Structures are given as C-alpha cells and as structure tokens.
Amino acid sequence: MNIYNQIKTTRAISDDGIERLIERESVELTAYQDVAGIWTIGVGHTGADVYEGLTVTYDQAISLLHADIERFETVVNRCIDVYLEQHEYDALVSLAFNIGVHAFKTSTVVRLINANDFLGAADAFMMWKKAGARVVQGLINRRKDERAQFLGIGL
C-alpha cells in the first residue's frame, strides 16, 4: 500500500463538477428511454423506480442526482490509489456516473491512473463511446469533454 492510500480521505465532487455533469446529462422532467433503451429521468437517474409516464419536478431531479452521485463518488474513492486534483476527480465521477460502477472499477482508465499514467488514462476515456453495441456521437462528445476536464484543459 502506498503512502497516499494510507492517508487518503473521502472526497466529493465539486460544485463545478456537478454543474458539468448536469450539462452533460441534461435535466429531463419526464421519463424517456436513452439510446440503450433504459428508462431515465432527471439528471441521468435510472432504476426500477423509473417507468414510462413518470414525471418529476426540477427540485426532485436535483435531489435524485445528489442521492445517485454518492454511489459514484464512493467507487472513485475506493478504486483510485493515487492523488487526484479536483478536476481529475470530478471527471472520473462523471465517467463512473455514465458507464456504471462495475464498468468503472474494471476500466483501463482506473488501471492506468493507478499506474500513474495520467495521459494514457485520459486517452482511455475515449474507449467508452458505445451504447447498445454502437458508437454514439453524443458519447464521443461527452468523452472529449470529460477528457479535457480530467487534463485541466479549459478550466
């Protein structure tokens, strides 16, 4: 175990990270099926509680986001064994939010970060561009944005 792992503390996404995540996901007050056919509402909220015809208020959508985001902060905190700048952490939470806990934990992004190959990890964001086995331009755009955030470009 490295020295950082011995002293690391639980981190949280920043306000800027949340704003960027909301921009990437958008806020949908009526349930819809995403490109993979998954029922979604609010800011990317999915689950058994989301079904056709469901509606929420803006405040409910933001409340769901804050409840959901804890799961993704936890996976980033548990999987990353090296120090991260806040913008790097925020980009990783956004990625985990979009690809899911299991995919994040087993990703090349995580492996490369923990090997201190941050540029390689940034490039590995671009591997996550498919939904339903097809390349989706919206995911390519999102990954470019997350990669730039991770690298601190345009902050």
Is residue 13 within a helix (H) or strand (E), and if so which, with residue range? none
Does residue 81 have an active-site annotation? no
Does residue 123 have an active-site annotation? no
Rounded Cα distance, 88 and 77, in Å: 12
> Cα separations (Å) of 72 from 32, 105, 126?
22, 10, 19
Instruction: At 45, give phi and psi (nearest 5°).
Output: -80, 130
> Cα separations (Å) of 131 from 43, 50, 75, 79?
18, 19, 21, 24
Which of the following is catalytic: 15, 16, 34, 68?
34
User: CB-hemisphere CA count at 13 Å for 78?
Assistant: 12
- In one-letter notation, the amino acid at residue 101 is V
Which of the following is catalytic: 25, 73, 90, 145?
25
Cα angle 37, 24, 112 (rounded to 5 degrees) comes to: 90
Q: Which residues are catalytic?
A: 25, 34
